A and B are shown apart, each in its own frame.
Chain A
Amino acid sequence: QVQLVQSGAEVKKPGASVKVSCKTSGYTFTSYDITWVRQAPGQGLEWMGWMNPNSANTAYAQKFQGRVTMTRDTSVNTAYMELSSLRSEDTAVYYCARFIAEAGKLDYWGQGTLVTVSS
């Protein structure tokens, strides 16, 4: 069965970077895009960007341009999202999700990773 399993919770200081992993299984990793979405406490869903694991092409939300990097390691079927220059407003749960472009759907989601930014 399709699974996306994310790395554990992180606590970071302002100005630091965080790298969240999303290990996939149950399907061909390079066949579908991976999207990253975050959710601040009590807030809605915010799209951060996507990555094509086959080509490594990416597209980022303008808000995160210059601070976010999405990568992958095809040898371990894992996607990564790194966010730099962290500030308190980046405290959120970060989700990865598989995107089926042809059908326009985020059909499988990771369990989420809580990133807390605090001094």
Chain B
Amino acid sequence: EIVLTQSPGTLSLSPGERATLSCRASQSVSSSSLAWYQQKPGQAPRLLIYGASSRATGIPDRFTGSGSGTDFTLTISRLQPEDFAMYYCQQHGTSRYTFGQGTKVEIK
């Protein structure tokens, strides 16, 4: 099973700042198999990025996904108040998929 490790666990930032979230895989993952999700309390997750770098429909361009192999990054260029949430990476490179443990982006 591929293990995804996200860092940091918590990111404390102010609105307008840049957020950089990391997702590291225990073995190489195809870029087409890596996605990012945002989740707010009491809500279902929402797809942000798929294929490592493609934004989902309706996702603002301040969200950028990058990376390959075992290292992937989600960057939020200028945090808006609605961006403070949990973020999860997920891989489906094998028939059994896994999520990272999540990064919480909180208001400083």
Contact = CB atoms under 8 A, between A and B. Distances in A.
Contacts, number: 64
Interface string B41-54: 00011110011001
A89 interface: no
Contacts of A103: 50-51, 54
Interface residues of B, number: 27
B101 interface: yes
Given A103-B50, A104-B33, A105-B35, A35 B97 contact: yes
Interface stretch (A11-19, A24-32, A43-51, A77-85): A43-51
B44 A47 contact: no
Contacts of B72: none
A65 B80 CA distance: 41
Contact of B99 (A47, A59, A62, A109): A47
Contacts of A112: 44
B15 to A, nearest CB: 25
B96 interface: yes
Interface of B: 1, 32-35, 37, 39, 44-47, 50-51, 54, 56, 86, 88, 90, 92, 95-102
Contacts of A61: 96
Q: Contact residue range for chain A? A: 20 to 34
Nearest to A96: B44
Contacts of B102: 44-45
